[in-house]
């Protein structure tokens, strides 16, 4: 399709696009938006909206547009969230959790860092493949290693030691851009954690397969009801209390805890924001949560259409990973308005 740019009114006309996925940026790099646009009947259509721009369906950031640049990306994956290998519905957790069926969470990313070669790459965080060029993760994963050259994104893994996967489906990709939310705050004592969300841009497109495929994003504003069991996955510490990467990918079903409960003084109180999701168990014999090494990974919920959506990003939890009335906390990917979908900064580094 073709694009017409009008700086004065931010009018965007999209012609002859039946399905387009666009990355929309402001020239002063205040925001980025990844979204899907469906135009009807494969006919020439025009979408026009003055500031603030809003196009429904998928978006990350919508706020404060100035002049607009539009970069065409390949179409948003229509078969997202549909793993070729069915995941187990077992309800145990990542700490004391259950091993996932190999490659049943094909969007799971092992984010691996090396401060300099020949120091070997080490697993640091999880992430979610949401597009053939994009990874969704937590912003705190890039403390202190915040340069793209430190990182690689590995997909198609089950065992952390890939030689144990026979045949191996692993594919690792270099990174050429890291976009952390410009309002990101992460105090180590958890007195203030805000906007813990980031995008990672890959240096080349991912080759999709039955072992590697993207997860869907929820629609803006979507909120899963309390009690909904969603799955956290990762290679994080299986015991709690120390950084100890699991050898195999684990999974756990954690029920969503409503905001009113999780924001009580005995729970997370004023640390909690509406742009976060709490999930976990309350009974001492049921306590389950995410842990070190799971950070940035997906909190995946099954939609009404039976596809999987990444509703949360593993952000933080209690010291030692398991504690009464301290469920795991996730950044809510569907949050809008005053939540994390406001501004991403420093986006020019990988576009120029």
**Spatial distance between the Cα atoms of 121 and 150, rounded to a whole number of angstroms:** 9
Residues linked to residue 154 through DSSP beta bridges, in sequence order: 110, 172
295 among known catalytic residues: yes
Listed residue (207, 253, 256, 251) closest to 227, CA to CA: 256
140 among known catalytic residues: yes
Phi then psi dihedrals of residue 40, to 5 deg: -75, 145
- The SS3 assignment for 165 reads coil
User: Given 196, 201, 311, 334, which residue is catalytic?
Assistant: 196
- The SS3 assignment for 55 reads coil
Kindly provide the residue ranges of all beta strands, DSSP E only, lying in 7-73, ordered along the sequence.
Answer: 11-15, 19-26, 32-38, 68-73
Give the tokens for residue 263.
Answer: 């924001």
The runs of H, that is alpha helices, within the chain are 259-262
Give the torsion sign (CA, 112, 115, 117, 118): negative
Listed residue (146, 159, 107) closest to 130, CA to CA: 107
| H or E, element range at 124 | strand 122-131
275 among known catalytic residues: no
Give the torsion sign (CA, 317, 332, 335, 63): positive
Answer for the pair 339, 273: CB distance below 8 angstroms, yes or no. yes
User: Given 295, 315, 328, 334, which residue is catalytic?
Assistant: 295
Indicate which residues carry an active-site annotation.
140, 196, 295
């Amino acid at each position: 399709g073709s694009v017409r740019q009008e700086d004065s009114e931010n009018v965007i006309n999209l012609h002859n696009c039946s399905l387009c996925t666009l990355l929309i940026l402001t020239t002063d790099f205040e925001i980025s938006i990844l979204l899907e646009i469906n135009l009807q009947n494969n006919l020439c259509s025009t979408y026009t909206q003055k500031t603030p721009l809003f196009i429904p369906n998928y978006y990350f950031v919508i706020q404060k547009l100035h002049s607009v640049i539009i970069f065409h990306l390949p179409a948003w994956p229509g078969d997202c969230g549909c793993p070729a290998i069915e995941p187990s519905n077992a309800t145990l957790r990542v700490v004391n959790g259950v091993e996932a069926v190999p490659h049943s969470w094909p969007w799971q990313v092992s984010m691996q860092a090396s401060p300099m070669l020949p120091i070997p790459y080490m697993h640091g965080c999880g992430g979610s493949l949401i597009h053939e060029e994009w990874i969704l993760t937590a912003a705190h994963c890039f403390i202190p290693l915040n340069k793209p050259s430190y990182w690689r994104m590995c997909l198609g893994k089950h065992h952390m030691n890939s030689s144990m996967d026979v045949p191996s489906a692993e594919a690792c990709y270099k990174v050429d851009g890291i976009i952390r939310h410009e309002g990101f705050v992460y105090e180590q004592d958890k007195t203030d954690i805000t906007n813990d969300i980031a995008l990672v841009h890959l240096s080349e497109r991912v080759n999709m397969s039955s072992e590697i495929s993207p997860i869907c994003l929820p629609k803006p504003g979507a909120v899963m009801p309390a009690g909904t069991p969603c799955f956290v996955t990762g290679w994080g510490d299986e015991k709690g209390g120390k950084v100890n990467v699991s050898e195999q990918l684990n999974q756990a079903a954690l029920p969503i805890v409503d905001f009113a409960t999780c924001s009580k003084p005995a729970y997370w109180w004023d640390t909690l924001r509406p742009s976060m999701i709490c999930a976990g168990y309350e009974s001492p014999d049921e306590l389950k949560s995410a842990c070190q090494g799971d950070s940035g990974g997906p909190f995946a919920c099954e939609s009404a259409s039976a596809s999987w959506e990444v509703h949360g990003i593993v952000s933080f939890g209690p010291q030692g990973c398991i504690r009464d009335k301290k469920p795991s906390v996730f950044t809510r990917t569907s949050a809008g308005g005053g939540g994390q979908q406001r501004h991403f900064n420093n986006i020019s580094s990988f576009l120029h």
